[in-house]
Structure 1
Amino acid sequence: MLNEQTLTQLRALRLDGMVAALADHASSSAASELRFEERLALLVQREIDWRDDKRLTRLLKAARLKVSSACIEDINWRASRGLDRHLVTALAGCDWVRHARTILITGATGTGKTWLSCALARQAARQGFTVLYTRTTRLLQELRVAHGDGSFSRRLAQLARIDVLVLDDFAGAPMEPGERNDLLELLDDRVGAKATLITSQLAVKAWHAWLDDPTVADAILDRIVHSAHRIALKGPSLRKPEGQADEEAQ
């Protein structure tokens, strides 16, 4: 059994996963029968798993996902939804993040857009990517305020470093003056560099009219529609009964 000084040294080295594994081994007769190399391999793996869990917890906390419980494994594959299982399975591999691609999820209220976007974002966090979820109108309001207090450039730079930016409820409200240009700058920083996931009740073909400025609209849509993965959800609402707000997986 290791003495307290050794355990203290392991904690000082931040090998907390290994400390926990040693505590388990101390009470396990099976562990004592293993060769030194086998026990060492188990300790190292436990440390790796512990660090991975801590990193995922940190990434998910920073992501601020609206539906924190959403995950790929719980997707509702009901035929009426129009989900392409092959496409979603491929997206779960997160190559779209590595290649800085865009995902566009459209559909009526309650069809599961937000839930699916959070599931894909959570999958990206599982693979070590940084994620941020935000409602589009709220982010544009935040950027408008940032112009006033002089923090716009700094905030834009912060957003540009995020691996996966989820813009929920895109085209959900009329745009305020200046917001088109802010949106263009935001997306221009990401094109070809970072991945973006957009959800909207409005069909993609109607976004140009919503932007209400042909020149800026052309520039924005060129950045998010070209080579994007598109998912158009169909079917009845999946919202829970009795006024609950979250979109469910089943």
Structure 2
Amino acid sequence: MLMQQTLLTLKSLRLPGMAAAFEEQQRHAQVAALAFDERFAMLVDREHAYRENRRIARLLREARLKSSQACIEDIRYGTGRNLDRALVAQLASCQWIRAHQNLLLTGATGCGKTWLACALGNAACRQGLSVLYWRLPRLLEELRIARGDGSFGKRLATLAKIDLLILDDWAVAPLSQAERNDLLEILDDRVSTRSTVMSSQLAPLHWHAFLNDPTLADAILDRILHAAHRLALSGESQRKLDGETPLLSSVTL
């Protein structure tokens, strides 16, 4: 009876991990031989692990990664991929995110930019950092709509709080004047406070010309290129090599 009351109390206090561990302890006689502080430490550890797992699951869900199964451990470093193990290990540590630096991923279609960006996003979530994936054309369209319904400021404020914002398919289509302005607003909120990944088929050398507005181009690129790591992927399309199987073994777009 006392055990049931204790379980109910733990659950009412929203300590489900501790409650589950307490039930398990009652079913294993050998646990009774442990000292009280050892048993209590086991309960606390279980609750901590439960909360951490819940938090990571929430972060991964909210990140909306396009390649949700992408992870650093699955990278294959094949020849011609231009993937440096030391650099990838450095990026996987997420220290660059904590230092509010950016990452530029470039390469041809299918070489693995999106896959790698999502793998890094996965790593960031598992270290307790907030992540959000967007295809840039779709995000700019959402912001256009937000201007009309009055939620533009709220949208920008939400984006500004994300530790790692992944902007995929950058420079795939010309930007309107309004879209260039919105992109500047997004990036300006993140300078030296948050990190951004820009994924593009177009090399950074051509970004200024792509933006087609010298003044805004200078402002946008200053915010993107400031304290940015660069990784130019190469090699054949991984979709072709893997028979459409999305492996980052070298990363898949």
Shorter-chain TM range is over 0.9
Is 2:208 the counterpart of 1:247?
A: no
Is contact 1:240–1:247 with CA below 8 Å preserved after alignment? Answer: no
Q: CA 1:241–1:2 in structure 2 vs 1: closer, same or farther (change >3 Å)?
A: farther
- Alignment TM-score, normalising by the size of structure 1: 0.94
Is contact 1:132–1:164 with CA below 8 Å preserved after alignment? Answer: yes
Shift of 1:27: 2.5
Matching of residues 117-128 of structure 1 within 5 Å: 117-128=117-128
Is 2:236 the counterpart of 1:236?
A: yes
* 2:165 equivalent in structure 1: 165
* 2:211 equivalent in structure 1: 211
SS in 1 for 2:248: coil
SS in 2 for 1:81: coil
Is 2:201 the counterpart of 1:189?
A: no
Is 2:133 the counterpart of 1:130?
A: no
Q: CA 1:247–1:203 in structure 2 vs 1: closer, same or farther (change >3 Å)?
A: farther
> Residues of 1 paired with 2:203 and 2:20: CA distance?
51
SS in 1 for 2:77: coil
Is contact 1:240–1:248 with CA below 8 Å preserved after alignment? Answer: no
SS in 1 for 2:189: helix
> Residues of 1 paired with 2:211 and 2:104: CA distance?
16
Shift of 1:79: 3.0
Shift of 1:13: 1.1
SS in 2 for 1:199: strand
Name segments (4+ residues, structure 1) moved above 6 Å: 240-243
Shift of 1:247: 2.9
The answer for unaligned runs of 5 or more in structure 1 is none
Q: CA 1:2–1:99 in structure 2 vs 1: closer, same or farther (change >3 Å)?
A: farther
Q: Which amino acid aligns with 1:249?
A: L
Shift of 1:20: 1.3
Is contact 1:132–1:166 with CA below 8 Å preserved after alignment? Answer: yes
> Residues of 2 paired with 1:211 and 1:67: CA distance?
28
SS in 1 for 2:173: coil
Shift of 1:30: 3.5
* 2:54 equivalent in structure 1: 54
- Alignment TM-score, normalising by the size of structure 2: 0.93
Q: Which amino acid aligns with 1:31?
A: V
SS in 2 for 1:79: coil
> Residues of 1 paired with 2:45 and 2:242: CA distance?
45
> Residues of 1 paired with 2:149 and 2:236: CA distance?
44
SS in 1 for 2:105: strand
* 2:104 equivalent in structure 1: 104
Is 2:5 the counterpart of 1:22?
A: no
Q: Which amino acid aligns with 1:113?
A: K
Q: Which amino acid aligns with 2:171?
A: A
> Residues of 2 paired with 1:187 and 1:78: CA distance?
34
Matched pairs, number: 249
Q: Deviations over 1:115-136 (max 9, x none)?
A: 1100101111111111110000
SS in 2 for 1:169: strand
* 2:13 equivalent in structure 1: 13
Percent identical: 56
Is contact 1:97–1:194 with CA below 8 Å preserved after alignment? Answer: yes
The answer for unaligned runs of 5 or more in structure 2 is none
Shift of 1:60: 0.9
